[in-house]
Amino acid sequence: MKIPLANRHVLYNMNLFDGQSQGLRTDACVMVEDDRILDVVHGLDAGTQAGFMPVDLQGRTLLPGLIDCHVHLTVPFMTKVTPRAFMDIAAQIKRNAATCIDAGITTVRDAGGFPRRLAELNTAIRNGDLTGPRIIRCNSALTTSRGCPDWVPRFNRVIRAFLGGQYAERVDSPEQASRAAQEMITAGADWIKIYCQHRSWLLGGGDLPVFDRDTFRAIMNTASAAGKKVCCHISWLDDLKLAMAMGVHTYEHSPLEAIPDETAIAFAARDMVLNPTLTCLDLGNDALWETVEGICDERGGTFLEPEPLRQVKAHIYRYRKGPWPPTEGEYRRQPYMNLPLIAGGYANAAANVVRILHAGGRVGVATDSGGLPTAFFGVFYAEELRRLVRLGLSNYQTLKAATSGNAEILGLQDKLGSIRPGRLADLIVVDGNPLNDLDAVLNVRMVMKGGRFLKGAPVHPRLSSLHKPLPQDR
């Protein structure tokens, strides 16, 4: 069967960052057939392009679609599940997915959400009914009855039916834990997500129960039997050590306490991965709050539906304008992040990234977008890249981490993250040269996912004299 021309494109006149090689190639064109990269060829060889729709990128930079290792697509930014919030949830989830694409993020790992909503979203995106990224799913996170996330309630049957499951499944014995892990896998989970945080981030939160070793091991065994890896939310050194002892694969959020050298070395030696999510941990940073506040005021409607926007603004107001510390009555009524506690650990969290890298360990690019009321999709991604550069990574190392590095972390390096023959055609085009100026990734002009243009489709591709006439023109 002949593949229609619409599914054959040759992208040319560009700088190419292939996700792996250092520097940009200026002489390459990329041929896409159906959903795959057919070839990356030198120069503008007219013969190899016959039958392909030419797409002139006008000197911009082509790079692999960006990957975010930690988002929450179905957690709609809200601090309260109210009747008004119910009305906006579906629209907000769609918007979260579309915002990823707009920012050039073509693959995400959803690190915890409502299983039925995630399944529906995933199906709609795969069928082309909705615009959104490829989703690697964890489904509901697993935790203890009274453990972290202590700001998320256990929803009653009615709310649970509406939301499409629990955000966190709370289990307390090895039997319950393996059953819950199996349920997540049956519901389509690609990874299993665990919470392991010994001490709360909330005012008045105190110590939190984590899984005992038998229960933790039961989850690891269930995941492993199904060929799934495990990611674990951690916050403190004890959390990291327990999760390492259990053999967790990726560690979500850099610890707020310094990782000793010997631990960093063991972490690297066992090929474990740290997803630092530095931006979301920097809650003590006035500049970050101002950025988020500015976004809400100027273009909040781009990111948020009416009720989420109202709640995010109220959230910002509580932390920025309200009296600090709030009274015990206030934080008993509604959870309050212990900002000084988290802020006090940020320097450690940042330094830990350097420690892991120096030890030869792997660090991913991850944002926690959607997981906090202030963590916007897209905006936080660019900010996270900048923070990694500030810690000493080059722009090249950072962009490699965001593409082929993250693909490897997710075990998808044979399909995604680099521009090579046979890989899925997840490609983005940005203005300028992101290897010189990382902010170039903020100007995503074109997004192709699986060979289909989802943003900036070429309306009138220029047919230069370099191309043979297209077949139907003959």
Please state, in angstroms and as integers, the Cα–Cα distance from residue 323 to each residue in 86, 286, 319, 331, following that order: 30, 16, 8, 12
Pairing of strands 250-252, 273-275: parallel
Residue 8 or residue 70: which is nearer to Zn ion going by CB?
70
Residue 19 or residue 370: which is nearer to Zn ion going by CB?
370
Number of chain positions touching Zn ion (CB under 5 A)? 3
Site for Zn ion in 44-73 (CB under 5 A): none
d(CA 322, CA 303): 24
DSSP string, 382-447: HHHHHHHHHTT--HHHHHHIIIIIHHHHTT-TTTSSS--TTSB--EEEESS-TTT-GGGGG-EEEE
Which of the ranges 106-114, 297-305, 356-364, 393-401 carries the binding residues for Zn ion, by CB under 5 A?
106-114
Site string for Zn ion, 153-182 (x = CB under 5 A): ------------------------------
Residue 151 or residue 453: which is nearer to Zn ion going by CB?
151
Among 371, 378, 405, 417, binds Zn ion (CB under 5 A): 371
Which of the ranges 13-21, 37-45, 46-54, 105-113 carries the binding residues for Zn ion, by CB under 5 A?
105-113
- Reduced to 3 states, what is the DSSP secondary structure of residue 41? strand
Which of the ranges 7-15, 171-179, 364-372, 461-469 carries the binding residues for Zn ion, by CB under 5 A?
364-372
d(CA 213, CA 150): 21
384 contacts Zn ion (rule: CB under 5 A): no
Which of the ranges 16-24, 205-213, 259-267, 369-377 carries the binding residues for Zn ion, by CB under 5 A?
369-377
Residue 336 or residue 380: which is nearer to Zn ion going by CB?
380
Residue 146: DSSP 8-state = T
Which of the ranges 92-100, 104-112, 316-324, 443-451 carries the binding residues for Zn ion, by CB under 5 A?
104-112
At 201, give phi and psi (nearest 5°): -90, 0
CB of residue 419 to Zn ion, shortest distance in Å: 29
- Residues 6 or more apart whose Cβ sits within 8 Å of residue 21: none
Residue 29 or residue 192: which is nearer to Zn ion going by CB?
192
The H or E element containing residue 279 is helix 278-281
Site string for Zn ion, 426-455 (x = CB under 5 A): ------------------------------
At 66, give phi and psi (nearest 5°): -75, 155
150 contacts Zn ion (rule: CB under 5 A): no
CB of residue 416 to Zn ion, shortest distance in Å: 21
Angle between helix 286-303 and helix 83-102 axes, rounded to 10 deg:
100
**Euclidean distance between the first and final Cα of the chain, in Å?**
20
368 contacts Zn ion (rule: CB under 5 A): yes
Q: Are 203 and 224 in contact (CB under 8 A)?
A: no
Which of the ranges 107-115, 132-140, 165-173, 413-421 carries the binding residues for Zn ion, by CB under 5 A?
107-115
CB of residue 279 to Zn ion, shortest distance in Å: 12
Binding site for Zn ion (CB under 5 A): 111, 368, 371
